[in-house]
Every structure is written in C-alpha cells, then in structure tokens.
Amino acid sequence: MARDYYGLLGVAKNAGPDEIKRAYRKLARELHPDVNPDPAAQQRFKDVTAAYEVLSDPAKRQVVDLGGDPLAPGGGGGGGGDPFGGAGVGLGDIMDAFFGGGGMRSRGPRSRVRPGDDALIPVELTLEECATGVAKDILVDTATLCSVCHGSGCAEGTSPVTCDTCKGAGEIQQIQRSLLGQVVTSRPCPVCRGYGEVIPEPCRQCGGDGRVRSRRTVRANIPAGVGDGIRVRLAGQGEVGPGGGAPGDLYVEVRELAHDRFTREGIDLHCTVQVPMTAAALGTSMSLETLQSVEDLDIQPGTQSGTVISLRSQGMPRLRGSGTGNLHVHIEVVTPTKVEGRQAELLRELATLRGEEQPELSARAHGGIFSRIRDSLAGR
C-alpha cells in the first residue's frame, strides 16, 4: 500500500510547492533529532523528509497522484526514506539551506595577534604608606614582547606564508548534497589552525608565540588613602598577548600590615592610651604622636576607663574626594596592683578625707565568709 505523503506533511493534494516547503520546514524544526531526541520523533522526521523529497519532485509527485509509491522497492524512486543518506546534516544546516543561500558561512582567517591578559600582584604597605601614598618599584613576571621577532613569531629574515591547504582562507569547506540543494559547512583549517598562514621557521627565542616570559621592574604610584584589598590599575603593564598583541593591565593589590599602635576602621583610626590612676583623677595633659603630627591630649579630672577622646582630622585621608577621618583615643585608667609603705598610708588618708569605707574595715565588721555561714546556722 502506498504511503500517504500528503498526510505526512499535513497538506492538501492540490498544495503548491511553497506550501509544501513551509509545511516541511515547520515539521523539521519540531522533529529534527538535534531538537527532539524522542525516537518516535526521529522516525517521523525521516518520514516527513521522505514525503518532502517525493512531493517536491514533480516526477515523483505524479507517481503518487497516480496511486504509486516512488520510494517503494521497484517504485522508481530509489530506496529508503532518508534523502540525506546518513550525511549527518544538522538542523542549522537545514535552516541555512532555507534562509542562508545554501548554508555557506565564511568566517575567514583569524588573526595571530590577540590581546593579552591582565595580571595581579600583591604589595605590602604600612599604615603610614597607606596614609601618605607611596611610589613602589615592583618586580613582576609577565609575558613580554619577543625582542628577536617583535611579535611576528618568525625567525630573522623569514615571514609567514599562505597555507597550502586552505589557500589563506583559514577554514576548509565540506559540501553535502541534499534534497534542499548544496549544504556547505566550514571548519578551521587543521594545518594553519584557522590563521590562513603558517610559519615555516619559528623564532627560536619565543617558539613562534611572539612573546617570552621575563622579569621586570614596574613603578607603581599608589595614592594616599588606600586600604587592604584596594587594587591600583596600571594600564598596559600586564601580559603581552599572543603574536605581540596589546598587553593587558597590571593590578596592584594592597595588603595593609598591622600597626603596633593604631587600628583602622575606614578613614578613622583608634588607639588606646594608659593613664595612671592619679593622673586620671587630677587631670593632666600629655603628648600623643599621630600619623601626621604630635598632638596635646587633655585628660580631664575624673576621667574614667573607657572614655573616648576624638582628635579631628588625625585619621586617614579619603581615597576619593577630600577630607580626613578622626583619631579616637580610648582611655584606660591603670590602677596599681601593689601599694605599700608610704603610698598605702597616703591612700588610706585620702580615703578617710573622702569618707570612703576601707575594704579591710568592711570585711572585719561583717566577718569573713565562714563567720557569715556560722551566724546563719545559729539563727542570728
């Protein structure tokens, strides 16, 4: 029994060539194995492809209209329902055949010269260097332009030659025939790797890459106000690209070292100053060395531990914009751990003058811990 090729495409028997083509194009998009991996869909794709092959050929279509099957054995249409003959044509090739003038997509040779990568190097800075800014000479190890071939990759006195395989196109094309016409696919040339040229005699210094690894010294001007993790960009100081391509950028990442006196919070600084008990009680003035200068620190009479005195504009400068942070001085009142002799007498005298109860008298009046337990048990 002859197959219903019109039914497979879903068109009427009087459908024109354009309608048949649109129907097949729609079904091919839905059923192609690249899109629909279902085995049933793959079989339907073969069936509708065979139907299109028959109905788009006037002679084969006439056989169908007369009740025959041109694809059946002895039917005059050849064998099998796969007009692509197992060539492995992709869905993209089918769409290109409809819309792209046969599927030809020429890319042309690619350049050997490519931009270089960026590089990152850490640099350790003290708090003072972060505050004032500094110029640092940094030793970096990057790819640099080959001094022999200057990026061409060729030995002295030689130059690249056109690839014999692709004739300079950088790609080779493969032509496949289908019921849709010629489908042309392209891939990079395996000999020149898509460059369209080959280097017959590579430079001995760089091996044909146009660049070499080398160590060099770079001057990095680090601005005032930087902090831990901040990156400073040095344009064009990174890796030279293949073929002598434009170098990338070098990023210098700041690693701020811990300071022995100051801690940092943004643009503000903090420090702790120990003040003797007597100085905190009577008040005093002392010199404090900041990052910028030496300042007078006024300790008011009766200052307690934990008091914070802020010195304006004695912190860190802003990295962007104007202004400077503050220095916050945390006061720690130091109480002597051992007092005896004349010092103890003077403190007792002070306690008496102030009417303060002395700890040892208080303990004697109330008794020790064992006395209180005894009195509790006795019901006193």
- Annotated binding-site residues read 146, 149, 163, 166, 189, 192, 203, 206
Q: What per-residue confidence (pLDDT) applies to 33?
A: 66
Domains belonging to the chain, first-starting first, are 5-83 (1.10.287.110), 119-256 (2.10.230.10), 275-334 (2.60.260.20), 342-377 (no CATH)
Q: Is the separation of the CB atoms in 250 and 142 below 8 Å? A: yes
Q: Which residue has the higher pLDDT, 110 or 264?
A: 264
Query: In which band, very low, low, confident or very high, does the pLDDT at 92 lie, cut at 50, 70 and 90?
Result: very low
Nearest to 109 by CA among 171, 172, 174: 171
Residue set of the binding site for Zn(2+): 146, 149, 163, 166, 189, 192, 203, 206
229-269 pLDDT, tens digit each: 999 999 999 999 999 899 999 999 999 999 999 999 999 99
Structure tokens at 211: 């660049």
CA distance 172 to 106: 9
CA 126 to CA 258: how far, in whole Å?
7
Q: Which amino acid is at 88?
A: G
pTM over 0.75: no
Mean pLDDT of the chain: 83
Q: Report whether pLDDT(80) > 60.
A: no
User: How high is the pLDDT of residue 76?
Assistant: 46
Q: Which of the residue ranges 220-224, 249-253, 270-274, 341-345 would you say has the lowest mean pLDDT?
A: 341-345
pLDDT reading at 372 higher than 60: no
- Tell me the mean pLDDT in the region 276-305: 94
How confident is the model at residue 97, as a pLDDT? 44
C-alpha to C-alpha distance for 63 and 67, rounded to whole angstroms: 7
Provide long-range contacts, Cβ within 8 A and 24+ apart, for 157-163: 158/199, 158/200, 158/201, 160/195, 160/197, 160/198, 160/199, 160/200, 161/197, 161/198, 161/200, 162/196, 162/197, 163/189, 163/191, 163/192, 163/195, 163/196, 163/197, 163/198
On whether the CB atoms of residues 329 and 261 are closer than 8 A, the answer is no
